[in-house]
């Protein structure tokens, strides 16, 4: 009992942390986008930057589960069109995070996501689907994903739209995303530790407390994903992406 008391968290804070851990595990291995819904809740309860320092190691833990299970399903040509540019976006986001107002950032991202989803839904209804192949599309989406993951933890929405536009099958969607998120989240760690100083031994101990919940969520996500058809899975991802926009404006 003394171990838990050292964190001095309220009952509400423990519940939010627990549910966020479960959602993160689920989102990484099956229900893509679910974890993003808890980002603003964690920020509201623990504070913006403070919550990002708690959440990032949780994301890495869940990413490892996803990579281990889906590692053979990654579409590497698609991944390499996105990942290097995301690294650049992270660096830019690290040193310019104070240059844009939070509310303005949320509204800009909301508009971009809504327009992107509208295009995706329109494409879904067409019999002939044109997959974007120009390198510039991957570059723009990669920069946007990297910047948003550092500034607003919204890479999930951007990346999902990119992978959906590539028409990847369900397992390839999850596997490619797993490697992408593990790469960018590991890349972000030094910036959070040494630049923003949001990760400490105390926050890491808190992350280890909820590790079993993350693991349970990841295993449950794998089971659920197996029972979702390709069509239903795409609709779920689009729905979660739209839900992210709603949370942006709350």
Of 36 and 150, the structure prediction assigns the larger pLDDT to 150
- Helix and strand numbers (H, E) in the chain are 12, 0
Residue 1 has pLDDT above 50, yes or no: no
| 3-class state of residue 19 by DSSP | helix
The pLDDT mean for the chain works out to 85
Containing structural domain, residue 76: 2-248
With beta carbons less than 8 A apart as the criterion, state whether 237 and 33 touch.
Answer: yes
Of 93-97, 115-119, 238-242, the range with the lowest mean pLDDT is 115-119
Of 11 and 37, the structure prediction assigns the larger pLDDT to 11
Q: Given pLDDT bands bounded at 50, 70 and 90, which one contains residue 107?
A: confident
pLDDT at 249: 67
- Structural domains in the chain (count): 1
CA 111 distance to own-chain centroid:
18
- Give the sign of the dihedral formed by CA 192, CA 19, CA 102, CA 8: negative
DSSP summary character for residue 134:
-
d(CA 215, CA 210) in angstroms, rounded, equals: 9
- List, as own/partner pairs, every contact residues 188-192 make where C-beta atoms lie below 8 angstroms and the sequence separation is at least 24, other chains included: 188/56, 188/90, 188/149, 188/150, 189/56, 189/57, 189/60, 191/90, 191/94, 191/150, 192/52, 192/53, 192/56
């Amino acid at each position: 009992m003394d171990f838990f008391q050292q964190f001095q968290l309220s009952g509400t804070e423990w519940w939010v942390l627990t549910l966020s851990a479960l959602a993160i595990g689920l989102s990484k291995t099956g229900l893509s986008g679910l974890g993003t819904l808890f980002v603003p809740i964690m920020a509201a309860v623990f504070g913006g930057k403070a919550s990002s320092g708690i959440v990032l190691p949780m994301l890495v833990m869940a990413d490892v589960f996803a990579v281990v299970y889906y590692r053979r399903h990654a579409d590497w040509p698609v991944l390499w069109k996105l990942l290097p540019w995301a690294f650049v976006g992270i660096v830019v986001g690290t040193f310019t995070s104070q240059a844009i107002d939070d509310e303005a950032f949320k509204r800009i991202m909301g508009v971009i996501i809504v327009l992107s989803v509208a295009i995706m839904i329109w494409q879904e209804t067409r019999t002939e689907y044109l997959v974007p192949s120009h390198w510039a599309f991957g570059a723009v989406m990669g920069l946007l994903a990297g910047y948003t993951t550092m500034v607003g933890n919204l890479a999930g929405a951007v990346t999902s739209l990119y992978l959906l536009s590539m028409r990847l099958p369900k397992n390839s969607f999850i596997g490619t995303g797993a490697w992408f998120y593990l790469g960018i989240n590991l890349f972000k760690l030094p910036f959070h530790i040494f630049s923003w100083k949001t990760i400490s031994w105390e926050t890491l101990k808190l992350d280890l407390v909820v590790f079993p919940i993350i693991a349970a969520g990841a295993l449950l996500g794998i089971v659920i994903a197996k029972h979702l058809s390709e069509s239903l899975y795409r609709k779920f991802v689009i729905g979660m992406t739209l839900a992210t926009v709603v949370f942006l404006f709350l």
